[in-house]
Structure 1
């Protein structure tokens, strides 16, 4: 998962975007506003002389390779992939606020991040796209929609927060059944500690973005019960019992000694190596963690050693968190030919080009009519299978996202208490919500 940027920076970006776009853009101009639904050109329509630009982050700039090659050959278009420097989301928002737009961009397809892009003004609606009905029912409407309008096209499995574990370590400790709820999860951890194994690995060095997963998986049941709707309206706060309790629990597990001894200084790279070599048993993580494991071992070794299961307080409910590498958005550029060409590229990507794409990326297919390629590691298949019963994360369901992970990192370093983590996160949430004009703030 790409690192999220500081809340203060987002406030500035939202405010700048609102000022610049209000002064320079007419939401009803071009293909925006109340214009008739866009047409969707045939995948092979001639595009000789048309140039398109795709913005991508450093971790997604090679994702389009197979699609771009096939599309250029089929249509005659010229497609350039431009890498936008990290922090990607903040950089994109700044450029868009200044009037600099690509034709397409990788983007986190959550409501909060579509709001951050001022979707109704800047993005082409994708309702009526020919590929929508090709999605499996589990993912068709899981994300990419804001105010009942589809703005993002999902291209790969959204990340899921859950537990990656070393199968051999479990077997050596006599653990033959996977946890079925939070309590049994902790029972396994304590059994492992008794056997001399570090149960959990996390990292607080650098930017501790994975810390927030420990809180969010504990909120899965509450999220199903409308937690983030209540937080979005101001009815419930980070400082109230549910979220504060999850933060307190994370702190208590650290104090209990269930984590790696170098928690304060460990890095993402250390985490992958530790789970793979068995010096630690489990990590609460997302799909990008498995990508790191794939850089260290081949599929056969990963299938032998690494498993995945979702976890929640009362069961095995995953918490999904789409990231920018999972989806694309198409911009309104006031150039009707390029806008149509961008829609055509999406149609090809999720049409005739999709089977080659999932093969090249070794990723599970999101479409009923395209098979998942052989050789996709079992853990990734299990992640994909968990989506059908998963619930949205803070990033997916909250109207804005505070710097929870940074505040938790401060807790690990001893500069914030759990109570201060919740209060700072709530203050940031309220500031961000006010910046976008949310009611109740």
Structure 2
């Protein structure tokens, strides 16, 4: 399942252009901004039809809960798959006035801005399920300008390191690295024994950005993205450029797979699961790929996860569209209320069955995670409270860093050119999004 966050930069640009012709942009909201009422989750909705937009990697997520909601309420719910690239497709439709009742959406501030949330989305600030979230998760994402517009339904993705436990054990690696430099030393020991330390999938390009972002975790905690947002620092500065150069040097050192230029996402999963490579820096959708080709017992035996940063084991959180839902202002008060009711059902009486069906980590303190959730996913979730926000979460715009890094790997851009091209696009996107100072 390919992550959608890699497309965020291009998506913001699309909306920045599309908003100029959006008949609803800047117009009065379709409904009042007063606190919404929350219907009984199981109240009858005979004759009501709701539409949920989903991507190709999230269109099966709601099946169980939608079936249960339809049976409980009499409503009809249609899940419509928007073709990839999902974000661009959604934004183009919304810009022309075509809106669903609900949609899967990346719940970061920049992507809520990209949907013109204040005009197009229903506020969810007083949602009845918020108090049920684990405290560390309640306010981690989904909020724009102090108003909540998105609700998490699954655990947000984290950038970190997936590793093959058996490869570590076979080569005398008895513990996981405690910081980035220790990880590189482990990689060098593995290479000396003939093992490919890291696998990268530059053929699909989008995952290349994780290597730079995990190196920026400490700087992000120290306000890096706020400085970049305000022009006090740039991608061409020593912090980001230094991370890009470090990535390039590790590739030049031979710590990655020989086919790094052409390898794809599926190749990365196969290499780690088989032990042909020891580690991969990735996000949650990577583990979904592994789950599609293996069982929990095998994954628990072979695959582990640890967060990483220069100073320690700090993860970088990057919630994607499969993690969250938004409810649209459609101008139909009845359907808007029904959409809120579906969310209330999903995150209320329907939630235990939902997490059991998906074998996913529970976000609610009173609902235990199913016993068949793989250990690696539990470790990913456990890293969230101490994680820092990614570029996608904290920057006012998300340039195509991953495309530029892929071009660096194939030899068409230097690290300096990667940084300058990314900064130039960041400024363009920031202006299009109305950010001050650009």
Q: Secondary structure at the match of 1:271?
A: helix
Work out whether residues 199 and 271 of structure 2, in 8 Å CA contact, stay in contact via their aligned partners in 1: yes
The TM-score normalised by the length of structure 1 is: 0.97
2:263 is equivalent to residue 261 of structure 1: no
Alignment match, 1:245? 242
Match for 1:135 among 133, 136, 144? 133
Shift, 1:44, TM fit: 1.1
Matches within 5 A, 1:391-430: 391-430=388-427
2:18 matched to which residue of 1? 16
- In the alignment, is residue 26 of structure 1 matched against residue 24 of structure 2? no
| Equivalent position SS for 1:216 | helix
Deviations 1:322-369 (A, max 9, x none): 000000000000100000000000000000110111011110000001
Provide the C-alpha distance between the structure 2 equivalents of 1:55 and 1:11, rounded to a whole number of angstroms: 21
What is aligned with 2:215?
218
Q: Is the 8 A contact 1:7 1:401 kept in 2?
A: yes
Alignment partner, residue 336 of structure 2: 339
CA contact (8 A) 1:56 1:81 kept: yes
In 2, the alpha carbon distance for the partners of 1:257 and 1:118 equals: 45
How many Å separate the matches in 2 of 1:309 and 1:3? 21
Alignment of 1:58-73 (within 5 A): 58-73=56-71
2:424 is paired with a residue whose SS is: helix
Counterpart residue number, 1:173: 171
State the Cα distance separating 1:14 from its structure 2 match.
1.6
Q: Give the 3-state SS of the residue equivalent to 1:5 in structure 2.
A: helix
Distance in 2, matches of 1:9 and 1:61, equals 20
Cα distance, 1:178 vs. partner? Answer: 1.0
Per-residue deviation, 1:411: 0.4
Who is 2:376 aligned against?
Answer: 379
1:6 is displaced (CA, Å) by: 7.6
Distance (whole Å) between structure 1 residues aligned to residue 15 and residue 176 of structure 2: 44
SS state at 1:21 partner: coil
Q: How does 1:266-281 map to 2 (within 5 A)?
A: 266-281=263-278
Q: In the alignment, what sits opposite 1:45?
A: 43
Three-state SS of the structure 2 residue aligned to 1:261 is coil
| Secondary structure of the corresponding residue to residue 329 of structure 2 | coil
Distance 2:327 2:184 in 1: 44
1:17/1:93 contact within 8 Å kept: no
Aligned to 1:81: 79
Within a 5 Å distance, the mapping from 1:64-213 to structure 2 comes to 64-205=62-203, 207-213=204-210
Distance 1:38 1:17, change over 3 A: same
Quick one: distance in 1 between partners of 2:240 and 2:20? 31
Pick from 302, 320, 332 the counterpart of residue 305 of structure 1: 302
User: TM (normalized to structure 2)?
Assistant: 0.98
| 3-state SS, counterpart of residue 106 of structure 2 | coil
RMSD: 1.2
| Shift, 1:10, TM fit | 3.6
* CA distance in structure 2 between the partners assigned to 1:239 and 1:229 by the alignment: 15
Using the TM superposition, give the Cα deviation of residue 137 of structure 1 relative to its aligned residue in structure 2, in angstroms. Answer: 1.1
Q: 3-state DSSP class of the match of 2:80?
A: strand
Cα deviation, residue 8, structure 1: 5.6
Cα distance per residue 1:71-117 (max 9 Å; x no partner): 00111101000000100000000000000000000000000000000
Q: CA deviation at 1:9?
A: 6.0
- CA–CA separation in structure 2 for the residues paired with 1:295 and 1:53: 27
Cα distance change, pair 392–203 in 1 and its aligned pair in 2 (3 A): same
Deviation at 1:18, TM superposition (A): 3.8
Q: Distance in 2 between matches of 1:176 and 1:273?
A: 23
Equivalent residue of 1:328, what SS? strand
1:17 is displaced (CA, Å) by: 1.7
Q: Deviations over 1:263-295 (max 9, x none)?
A: 011111110110011110000000000011111
Contact 1:181 1:313 in 2 (8 A): yes
Unaligned stretches of 5+ in structure 1? none
* CA distance in structure 1 between the partners assigned to 2:11 and 2:374 by the alignment: 38
Paired residues for 1:295-374 under 5 Å: 295-374=292-371
CA distance in 2, matches of 1:123, 1:407: 33
State the alpha-carbon separation in 2 of the partners of residues 18 and 161 from structure 1. 34
Q: Aligned to 1:4, what secondary structure does the other structure show? A: helix
- Counterpart CA distance in 2 for 1:267 and 1:41 is 46
Residue of structure 2 in register with 1:227 after alignment:
224
Measured at CA, do residues 201 and 117 of structure 1 come closer, stay the same or move farther in structure 2, by a change above 3 Å? same
Unaligned runs of 5+ in 2: none
Contact 1:203 1:265 in 2 (8 A): yes
Report SS of the residue matched to 2:137: coil
CA contact (8 A) 1:17 1:94 kept: no
